[in-house]
Amino acid sequence: MKPHKGMRPHDIAVLLKIIALGQQEWMNKDLASELHISPSEITESLSRSQFAGLINASRKKVFVSALEDFLVFGLKVVFPVQPGAMVKGMATAHAAPVLKKYFSSKEIYVWPDANGKERGMMIEPLYPGAVEAAKHDPVFYDLLAICDAFRIGKVREIEKAKEQFEKIAKSKNNVAAH
């Protein structure tokens, strides 16, 4: 195994995708295809996540409480984001469907996407393939948007994002006790 040199943004995406898949069987090549990440990067990502204590030894079950702690307290520090220019895109953070119903805000954050239906301040996606991957998996989209709420949200938004993350993770029943 290569030495651990810290988590990468797509490592979080891999763990979120495993949660989104729930009880579905999957292979590394499936994750690679669906996340737009190379198969070798999937393997290395799973190794880093196992070393960090975020996934079990079989690399199939996420330690959701450890991941949640990292997302809530570390994501905005390790993978910070600043709103950018107004662009057309896909809603994220508190503007995404998973959180939008809980907040009335004039601030709309989007991932840039030429085919997007929303207009708002640009937020750099967690990793380059995020927008395409999110278009094909609504649960994964919700989880990525929740992560953006952790990255840029205010206290109320972070609390609601945490609640929604726990709800999704529990409903997928593919998490391991740490």
Of 47, 78, 109, the residue at which a domain comes to its end is: 78
Residue 106's pLDDT is 85
Tally of domains in the chain: 2
Q: Per the domain annotation, does 146 fall within a domain?
A: yes
Residues 73 and 54 reside in one and the same domain: yes
Checking if the pLDDT of 3 tops 70, the result is: no
The per-residue pLDDT for range 44-100, each reduced to its tens digit, is 999 999 999 999 988 889 999 999 999 999 999 999 999 999 999 999 999 999 999
Is residue 104 located within the same domain as residue 158? yes
Between the CA of residue 74 and those of 9, 66, 70, 94, 170, what are the distances in Å? 12, 11, 5, 19, 21
Tokens 């190794």, located at residue: 47
Look at residues 49, 78, 107 and tell me which one is the last residue of a structural domain. 78
Q: Assess whether pLDDT exceeds 60 at residue 178.
A: no
Same domain for 46 and 107, yes or no, is no
Please give the pLDDT value at position 61: 92
- Locate 170 and state its tokens: 């529990």
Q: Is there a single domain that holds both residue 108 and residue 50?
A: no
Task: Tell me: pLDDT of 139 over 60.
Answer: yes
With a pLDDT cut of 90, the percent of the chain lying above it is 85
- Structural domain range at position 43: 9-78
14 plus 53 within the same structural domain: yes
Q: pLDDT, tens digit, for every residue of 105-128?
A: 888 999 999 999 999 999 999 999
Mean pLDDT of 126-154: 96
Could you tell me if residue 96 is inside a domain? yes
Q: CA-to-CA distance for 106 and 128, rounded, in angstroms?
A: 26
Percent of the chain with pLDDT over 70: 94
Q: Are residues 56 and 73 in the same domain?
A: yes
Q: What are the Cα distances from residue 168, in Å, to 52, 123, 133?
A: 22, 23, 18
